[in-house]
A = this chain, B = another copy of it.
Amino acid sequence: MSQFWSAHVHDLDPYVPGEQPKDQRYIKLNTNECPYPPSPKAIQAIQSANLEHLRLYPDPNGDIVKEAVIEYFKEYNLERNEVFVGNGSDEVLAHVFCGLLKHDLPLLYPDISYSFYPVYANLYQIETDVIPLRDDFTINIDDYQRPNGGIIFPNPNAPTGIALPLAAIETLLQRNPHSVVVVDEAYVDFGAESAVSLVKQYANLLIVQTLSKSRALAGLRLGFAIGQADLIEALERVKNSFNSYPLDRLALIAGAAAILDRDYLHYVSRAIEQTRSTTVQGLERLGFKVLPSRANFIFARPPQGQAQSLYSQLKERGILVRYFNKPRLNEYLRITIGTDEEMTELLTQLRRLVG
């Protein structure tokens, strides 16, 4: 509380990211990072960069990353004005809320979803209508047939990991021709279907992706959006009214290299899907209920309603997972898929704790 603060600052309820411990003591399964290093080509791009050029501003438009996105999705013939890049998908999402989702009618999103959405809505003073998931944590698109100024959801959803089929997304797009439908595909590469194939067909579709998960570059801060030129222009206008150069020179070259290394992305994603499958089996054998995940994390309910105490006990034993002390979520743990070795250690510890 301060006389100097802009009035709305008093009402902000900032996002709280998962813990980032500064030591390396933990098996870190709490912020959905990739357990494998970034593409060797991304690392090579940084190692061979002329670091003296850091004295010069980066390309404000991030064209090298836009071109990489266009090449990666080349079967869809994207143009440069159909791609937007930003400082992590969190910054991209902030500009989306500011530029495309503030309308007289409320924004719709699921009650259980990325917990940054209500924070953005509050920052930009966007009215919202929060739609409960079904009891089984799936999205019922029929619940979104109400007046709205936009719709946003992650696909797969977080923290459930459950994916919505492409046909359902297409139905949502058809039912809401006057609203932007934002599909936040942060976790799409771990087994869900991307909606990028629908971009040319639907003027109201915006896809957001990140390099922090399947491309293992959380530490370098890159995200992008894909949509028709009209939507992208709104994001560029907002971005260029906020910060001209959000991506630094090293992020640009390493990000582009990572996007173009399609083989490495597939290798990493398939490895994580395989580990996810064996982890789910192991948890189910211990009596956990695990939601069907298409993401690089799982949402799992321990057998005897002891989620919070398990979170603490695992932390004492050097394993960080994420616990949300909120209605409907507080019986579950969100567990990032690590390496096979890390997940074996998790299962070993859990066997002792719930056995």
Contact = CB atoms under 8 A, between A and B. Distances in A.
A219 B46 contact: no
Contacts of A4: 100, 179-180, 203-204, 230-231, 234
Interface stretch (A157-165, A188-196, A235-243): A235-243
A120 B17 contact: no
Residue from A31, A246, A254 whose CB has the most chain B CB atoms within 10 Å: A246
B52 A244 contact: no
Q: Which of A9, A22, A34, A234 has the most CB of B within 10 A?
A: A9
Contacts of A56: 20, 28, 33, 218-219
Interface residues of A, number: 86
Given A46-B51, A47-B51, A216-B55, A9 B90 contact: no
Q: How many copies does the complex hold?
A: 2
A46 B46 contact: yes
A68 interface: no
The SS class assigned to the A binding surface is loop
A99 B5 contact: yes
A12 B204 contact: no
Interface of A: 2-9, 12-17, 20, 22, 28, 31, 33-38, 42-43, 46-47, 51-60, 87-88, 90-91, 94, 98-103, 119-120, 122-123, 178-180, 203-204, 212, 216-221, 230-231, 233-234, 236-251, 254
10 contacts: A4-B179, A6-B98, A12-B238, A14-B239, A15-B241, A22-B59, A37-B52, A54-B218, A90-B242, A248-B248
